């Protein structure tokens, strides 16, 4: 076990017979949650898993740009024209299919309760043929963000060492805690991914800052699930629209972020019970 990392709990999954959902969210924009979501999905797909990547920033989607996908197909058709989810799918990479959000559609900024419930129920049924649903949530603490995260089996909360990002990460924890107190479903305590850290030590220190406040005021203890270094290689991969996740060969300066991605992907496999012996079992490949 790498020093500073705590094992991920599987307690929230034992009663969930459906395909496990992991929601990646952040208290503020710009912390790298979409980049992490894309790279993690591709890394898991390269391991033989069937991954459904869902961009839950329904009105300002970034996933197609990150993956250099030119198709306009998106969830906009599902919400506005009643198109089945299967007809909104995009191929993102080996083993990975994408349900992209729209871009610039204000009507999808906030769903009403009926739209949100229908979408989540349809998505749950649709996801039965996948090993894992990986959701990239929008930033902030709007109703959609909180409801989507509350529906997940596990939540990864992305922050950076920046003081404002840490403050907003705690704000997200506080909002999710309140959502759990008000709702009928227990909201799992998010675990932290620290992006743009200069070292593992800085990532651990950042996680301790968030955790200490959450323990004091919320009686929750979010653990560090993983980290990504501040990396010119990762920034370059975003500009060039060439994710390093899932790649067999990466530039020498991308070796550390690649290793961090592999570590986190392995943790998600174990968290969701997705070992090599179970990949694809019982899934209906379309």
Q: Tell me whether residue 260 is in a domain.
A: yes
Range of the domain at 256: 21-271
CB 16 within 8 A of CB 124: no
Instruction: Tell me how many degrees the CA angle 245-249-253 measures, rounded to the nearest 5.
Output: 80
C-alpha to C-alpha distance for 213 and 220, rounded to whole angstroms = 9
Handedness of CA 212, 217, 221, 225 (dihedral sign): negative
Give me the number of domains the chain comprises.
Answer: 1
In a domain, 6, yes or no: no
Give a yes or no: residue 135 inside a domain.
yes
Residue 168 lies in a domain: yes
**pLDDT (tens place) for every residue of the chain, 286 residues total:** 444 444 444 443 334 458 999 999 998 889 999 999 999 999 999 999 999 999 999 999 899 999 999 998 999 999 999 999 999 999 999 999 999 999 888 989 899 999 999 999 999 999 999 999 999 999 889 999 999 999 999 999 999 999 999 999 999 999 999 998 887 677 889 999 999 999 999 999 999 999 999 999 999 999 999 999 999 999 999 999 999 999 988 999 999 999 999 999 999 998 888 754 343 333 443 4
Residue 56 burial (CB count, 10 A): 23
pLDDT given for residue 283 in this prediction: 46
Q: Is residue 57 part of a domain?
A: yes
Q: Is residue 13 part of a domain?
A: no
Dig out the tokens for 267 from the structure. 């943790």
**What's the whole-model pTM score?**
0.88
**Residue 184: its pLDDT value, please?**
66
User: Does 190 map to a domain?
Assistant: yes
- Flag whether 281 is in a domain: no
* Residue 151 backbone dihedrals phi, psi, to 5 degrees: -80, -15
β-pair type (21-26, 90-93): unpaired
The pLDDT of residue 286 is 41
Task: Please give the pLDDT value at position 86.
Answer: 97
List, in order, residues 6 or more apart from 180 with CB less than 8 Å away: 150, 186, 187
Return the CATH number at 80: 3.40.50.300
Q: Are 148 and 179 in contact (CB under 8 A)?
A: no
């Amino acid at each position: 076990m790498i020093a500073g990392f705590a094992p991920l709990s599987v307690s929230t999954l034992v009663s969930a017979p459906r395909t496990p959902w992991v929601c990646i969210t952040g208290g503020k924009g710009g912390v790298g949650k979409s980049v992490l979501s894309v790279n993690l999905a591709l890394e898991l797909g390269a391991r033989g898993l069937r991954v459904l990547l869902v961009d839950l920033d329904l009105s300002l989607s970034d996933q197609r740009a990150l993956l250099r996908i030119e198709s306009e197909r998106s969830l906009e058709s599902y919400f506005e024209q009643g198109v089945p989810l299967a007809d909104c799918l995009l191929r993102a990479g080996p083993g990975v299919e994408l349900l992209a959000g729209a871009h610039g559609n204000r009507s999808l900024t906030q769903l009403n309760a009926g739209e949100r419930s229908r979408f989540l129920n349809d998505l749950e049924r649709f996801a039965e043929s996948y090993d894992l649903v990986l959701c990239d949530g929008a930033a902030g603490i709007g109703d959609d963000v909180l409801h989507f995260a509350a529906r997940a089996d596990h939540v990864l909360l992305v922050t950076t060492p920046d003081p404002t990002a840490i403050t907003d990460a705690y704000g997200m924890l506080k909002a999710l805690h309140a959502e759990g107190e008000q709702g009928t479903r227990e909201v799992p305590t998010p675990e932290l991914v620290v992006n743009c850290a200069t070292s593992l030590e800085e990532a651990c220190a950042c996680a301790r800052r968030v955790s200490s406040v959450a323990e004091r005021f919320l009686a929750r203890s979010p653990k560090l699930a993983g980290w990504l270094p501040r990396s010119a290689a990762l920034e370059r991969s975003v500009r060039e629209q060439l994710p390093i996740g899932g790649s067999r060969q990466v530039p020498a300066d991308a070796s550390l972020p690649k290793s961090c991605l592999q570590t986190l992907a392995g943790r998600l496999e174990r968290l969701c019970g997705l070992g090599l012996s179970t990949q694809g079992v019982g899934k209906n490949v379309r």
